[in-house]
Structure 1
Amino acid sequence: MVKAKKFILKKQFSGAPKPTDVEIVEEELPPIKDGEFLAEAIYLSVDPYQRVYTQNVGQVMIGLQVAKIIESKLDGYPVGKYVVGHFGWRTHTISKTLTIPFGIIPDFGNLPVSLALGALGMTGNTAYFGFLEICKPQKGETVVVSGAGGAVGSHVGQIAKIIGCKVIGILGDDQKGKYITEELGFDHYINYKKGNVKEELTKYAPVGIDCYFDNVGGDTSTAVISLMNKFGRISVCGCISIYNIGTNNLVNFSPNAGVFIRNELRMEGFMVTRWTERWSEGIEQNLKWIKEDKLKYKETITEGFENIINAFIDMLNGKNTGKAIVKVK
């Protein structure tokens, strides 16, 4: 018998999540049956969507993890292989066949398997498909990315530079700003906590903005959209600026409709699972760019299963650079 630890939701989040909103409990797992495998968590992902996804009290906190198969009675899932699965915040999981976007992790060469939660997983594909398919950027265009120091935003900006765009990142920390400009190649950054976003954008994008990849919503997005060029394209990935005040307040994001009409803008939200049938395309292209040193990644790693909730809270407060993950042990 294997004893698994898991974080369950003890109390519905109200405002910013707190450590007391969750608790660790243990459960004894039964022996695996034919057609099943037992996986042990190695890395866990913390992501903004976990704050707004509706869960019932008593449920295991949702989330992706990289896990190692330690026992198997399922063909194609041998002991020792790594899988990525939506197993939640737990140390051990009994599972059956996984379907794309989950399953056996392909060979990354000498790159860490944790990238299956970041640049070579759902995060990387969110950037790849969400930016290229919706914004359809062209060489020479001006691209603005909000939440630019995070996992998706920093990835999007690099893809834009690969294409040949001018890229401006918006974030809330000067150290992150130096990172995306000096190491990732962004042309400029704006610290929304220190300056006037619209004024700064006018300075850095004097001829207007063609593409906007939106991770934050709120006042920042209203400022960006007001400066967009004719036929501008907006890809809406998230609205983290208002997650802690509840999803009912999403209506607060209301840029002037006249801007959309006058400039004939297109704004589209997306879920990355739209491109499940092309999943391997994104992984393979991102891997190719990494190997060519055209795409860089950064992980903020928190040690210890019991510290997941702290990593989650830190991520929502923007304390991570790149992908926030937890190393279980």
Structure 2
Amino acid sequence: MRRLAPVCLALAAALLGCSSGNGTGGGGGPAGAAEQPASGGPAAERQITYTTRLPIARYSYTAAEDTAIESAQQVLTRRCMRTYGIAYEPAKPAPRAAKPADRRYGLSSASEAARFGYHPNSDAGPPPPQPDLPTDALPVFYGKRGSVTGARDKVMYKGKEVPADGCFGQSVRKLSKGYDDPAGAAVASRIATGSYEKSLTDPKVKDGFRKWSACMRNSGFQYKSPMEPLNNPAFQGATVSGKEKKTATADVRCKGKTELLGIWFTAESSIQQADIKKDAEALEKLRTAHRKKAEAARRIVAEG
């Protein structure tokens, strides 16, 4: 089965309104951002983003909405933890040295290719920190997931029952209740993932693949499409080999020579626009739900 681009799946998650799994913050990028600086400082290459400029991205949460919702989740979690006599403050996320380049269409950054090959950008920073709580308080935060005893029925803390999914999970549910639109999110997710698959059969994209393949062949690499080196088992180990870096560098260079990234983005945008027209009513309902949820989140944060 052909593997979907990781960012393709990330966009689907954003459309579904997924929050950070550990409750310590971290949101998506702004839907209107077109470029981001690559790692290496102001003089580094400029990276064009594709995922957040696709038409369907208009129906995901904006960066400001994500921030409001995550902040509200923390306020509700803090209130819940207080009922158990636990003082809780969310941990501050570690600063990220760089934002990884957009990989919806495979590699797009020459600097990342030269350093990391097809491996993830390790400059992106560590995962979000865990909540700064005593071990015995973790089950109150996480519920059954944080219980060291592996509780199946109830989690208790000092004689008081804890929500099954903990204070954080309960806070996510409280904020989502009455606002989330699963049906609309499913439509948006289907468009976000389906358009990528459809784009692979677009005549202009297929012609771009042929030109990219010819360019790669001239550099000594035999690949029919940009997905092939991504799925090469030799490039999925713990270390990045010299061959992987050379292949990745040629990959990005050939995408530039053939203008494949722009062609691919244009083709997928057209596919999404047609799909969006078919489900405009459901998508507008989803966008309205997102706005109302963000407004509710801002009210919770204002109340403190």
TM-score normalised over the length of structure 2 = 0.23
Give the structure with the larger helix fraction. Answer: 2
User: Taking CA–CA contacts closer than 8 Å with sequence separation of 6 or more, which of the two structures ends up with the larger relative contact order?
Assistant: 2
**Larger of the two Rg values belongs to structure:** 2
Higher strand share: 1
